[in-house]
Structure 1
């Protein structure tokens, strides 16, 4: 009743509705803001009964009353100087400032100078005192509450188990081939949770996917510009072929992307067919029959996590999954450009001024981010530790859905053979014509007989042109080189990490001891191991210069 009887509170609600009212999920948010102001007016009246409406408090003489009412409402402790509800104090402050401006604008429109002066005086006091008396203490209360708080992330094994559980449930429903509303609701819940878990998206961003958007994205082929495609590794090209990307509205109106694997596209295709079969006239693809709103993603995720019998089902929420991705990404050695790609994909554009409006963002998100998502959802994140997005290439251990007539694109990937840095790649590198350094990296995988035993502790120096020329001729006579497998690379990069960090080459003894220790390197000579370390140091230095 207090909201309906206060014209200024209603005017604020109307303004917010004009701004975001076209999105039904914001209606509850608007109502919450109005209820907060109504509670604030009630708190004012308990202190000063002469205040009848919100506009009555916009006067300099009522400023102390306003401060006291906010503190009472947010449960401020005078002894400790902390708020029990600090966020409420901050929210009321924002709303009060907006209402004071609206009150002043109305006075300006009607030509009432007295009311205009009252509003200006209140705003001036707000600007001068609110930060020190309310905001700073509220922020300090929030920070204090975070100290020594135990933060639990979802277990990777729980995420993997949940993903497999969802896949099995979807397969069972598809086998039954029963097109009733109950099965549709179950399948919609499963598909919704599957996309949230894989993409680590906010649940609201996925649940509000519209049928039109999904239908258009599934009909359009995965088009990648040929010039851009040449700058991607073969593994990344396969990801672009097997994934599609849908854009939706995220927090604060940001445009966020959702990636769909081949299985997800098939599941959504079945869901769309059930839409047509049941003649459901709904706007959202995850909307239950005879309802006005889509399925709540948080509720669906919580329900399936309980059904999957996880060790810590309470940790599986869309927020903790996003924190898990952000935390695990710190294990990777991400460059600034890779951090921007990942942040923009998550809908957290922390570098708005460095937006990639000049780059094909859709291709980058599919090719780069999907590698991390697959690694996390298959419990393989430790295999990509310390790598940048561009370095995650030899991932043949990941199961990427491919058509039967496509070949594996990871078996013959070599360092330096394909340009993966789109920002710094010159045109001459993108036409399958690598520069001299890249060609030297390729040819030198088999090792170099020119590196002698005395180089054990020597500092790394870039090769000269003459040396590169001799290596090329030498390797031409040696015949076809043997590509390094993923396991071989992992062993060398792990055991030789000290040499990578020091930018020095290992000696003959170091390489021979490594070969003896690991059977996977039996087919390699010590010169091949040393050559691989040398090539990786060159590659690392080149990336640092870029």
Structure 2
């Protein structure tokens, strides 16, 4: 198949595009369209230079343009056969209609904006058509074709002016609605703990087997997978980035303990000093060529060394630069597949939540529990491989618990008009004493019940019989029985009672306080005179 592809000309396709993309692409109507379109082939060449090993993305983008071209041919059979024939200002509206058909547009009966079944296709198509129009303009400039250059420039002007209004706005609206309706589920602590314990025990066991007299390739491959899965879960790293860990990065990693700055070392606490001795760090290439750190836990240090030392014994090609290398080619293992295999044999509550994106969202979300400063947030975002803005907007989800317990305090303070009393306080420092929460019956009942539970635990003598409703009283300097109640003054108390609907509520009740001797004296003198 590959030899047939290479023998054909495919005018405009580079040898790399033929070998890496076209040779493995599905043979169908879309392939016939794109393989005979010079502009789409040149587009594939340029995308492949940017994506490097991510050849499936190049294939998807080329096939997406070919699908729009098929729709354009159906709409205007005499308009042309190549996509360049439709990149004209007079054909712009036709391109919009073709993209909408591919997105399966759904009209809103309520008069709102229309919705798309495939909104991401609409957004991506906008970027793709801008890119391919610029290619047409560049080719026209090289060929001295002033007419084609003018067509491309005027098409770009129309695209920049109207694409957002006609296509992108509805697509973004659809995505936002789906995001609001989507239930966000993050990995559970128990599941992550099980995965961590399983991979660590397997790495230890497999390392012992490979150090025996007769190591087997099956154990070597399994050790590769377990180590890769462990590094992905521990570092919350993207699987493709972690799978491309180079051998040179491990062998030539810096000895940080030898080049550390004394001032920094003296300022580390005991835990940080111990971690710096037991853990190691290497740099790899992350998304968009950004260098990112990989922290290697102790159990992986020995397994990585063993994987590298025994490469030759298990016929790993010498030219393969990757630690998690395949034995049959110069490529690497699929990190996502390795993680899925590890999860398959475990009894987990929600294994579908343990993937790269979810774990990265989990790390960014639970970090809100800590009082991280701006520098610490930047460290975490840098480790995850993105800047702080992306970290806050796309990865750090507002977990319902955080929003309920933290944000509700601020909202309640604003609702009660008590924000001015909280000047200089953090959300964690705001207590129940700062906000008059007893104006809300449900909060009142909850707080009162917590106080009852606390009193029951702390003072055994304060327990009440289950026959009598519990009473919460404000503290008073004098303790009086019901028989001693007078008519002067009163104090509030909370009494638990059952309503007609069966709901148990706390209501406020006045407790009468008897007159003191000093209070009785003036009235007694008046009565004596009469």
Q: TM-score, normalised by structure 1?
A: 0.63
SS of residue paired to 1:284: coil
Residue of structure 2 equivalent to 1:171? 204
Residue of structure 2 equivalent to 1:3? 34
SS of residue paired to 2:357: helix
* CA distances 1:85-118 after superposition (whole Å, capped 9, x unpaired): 1111111111110111111122122222111111
Residue of structure 2 equivalent to 1:255? 291
Residue of structure 1 equivalent to 2:20? none
* CA distances 1:364-392 after superposition (whole Å, capped 9, x unpaired): xxxxxxxxxxxxxxxxxx9xx99xxxxxx
Superposition pairs for residues 120-199 of structure 1, below 5 Å? 120-177=153-210, 178-199=214-235
State how far apart, in whole Å, the 2-side matches of 1:48 and 1:251 are. Answer: 41
State how far apart, in whole Å, the 1-side matches of 2:429 and 2:66 are. Answer: 66
State how far apart, in whole Å, the 1-side matches of 2:277 and 2:150 are. Answer: 64
Using the TM superposition, give the Cα deviation of residue 223 of structure 1 relative to its aligned residue in structure 2, in angstroms: 3.3
Partner residue of 2:251 out of 215, 218, 226: 215
Residue of structure 1 equivalent to 2:481? none
Gap change, CA 1:222 and 1:261, over 3 Å in 2: farther
Using the TM superposition, give the Cα deviation of residue 498 of structure 1 relative to its aligned residue in structure 2, in angstroms: 5.5
Q: Is the 8 A contact 2:253 2:282 kept in 1?
A: yes
* CA distances 1:343-377 after superposition (whole Å, capped 9, x unpaired): 1110011359xxxxxxxxxxxxxxxxxxxxxxxxx
Q: Is the 8 A contact 1:3 1:34 kept in 2?
A: yes
Q: Is the 8 A contact 1:75 1:84 kept in 2?
A: yes
The structure with the greater share of residues assigned to strand is 2
SS of residue paired to 1:348: coil
State how far apart, in whole Å, the 2-side matches of 1:56 and 1:107 are. Answer: 13
Q: Does 1:313 align with 2:351?
A: yes
Using the TM superposition, give the Cα deviation of residue 500 of structure 1 relative to its aligned residue in structure 2, in angstroms: 13
Q: Is the 8 A contact 2:203 2:300 kept in 1?
A: no
State how far apart, in whole Å, the 1-side matches of 2:72 and 2:233 are. Answer: 46
State how far apart, in whole Å, the 1-side matches of 2:91 and 2:246 are. Answer: 49
Higher relative contact order (CA 8 A, sep 6+): 1
Q: Does 1:343 align with 2:381?
A: yes
State how far apart, in whole Å, the 2-side matches of 1:219 and 1:332 are. Answer: 31
SS of residue paired to 1:117: helix
| Structure 1: 5+ residue stretches without partners | 353-381, 387-494, 503-512, 518-546
RMSD (CA atoms): 3.1
Q: Is the 8 A contact 1:218 1:244 kept in 2?
A: no
State how far apart, in whole Å, the 2-side matches of 1:496 and 1:61 are. Answer: 63
Using the TM superposition, give the Cα deviation of residue 293 of structure 1 relative to its aligned residue in structure 2, in angstroms: 2.4
| Structure 2: 5+ residue stretches without partners | 1-31, 391-401, 407-427, 436-453, 459-530
Gap change, CA 1:500 and 1:7, over 3 Å in 2: farther
- Count of aligned residue pairs for this structure pair: 368
State how far apart, in whole Å, the 1-side matches of 2:302 and 2:42 are. Answer: 47
Using the TM superposition, give the Cα deviation of residue 312 of structure 1 relative to its aligned residue in structure 2, in angstroms: 1.8
State how far apart, in whole Å, the 2-side matches of 1:179 and 1:75 are. Answer: 56
Superposition pairs for residues 35-184 of structure 1, below 5 Å? 35-49=63-77, 50-79=79-108, 81-177=114-210, 178-184=214-220
* CA distances 1:453-492 after superposition (whole Å, capped 9, x unpaired): xxxxxxxxxxxxxxxxxxxxxxxxxxxxxxxxxxxxxxxx
Q: TM-score, normalised by structure 2?
A: 0.65
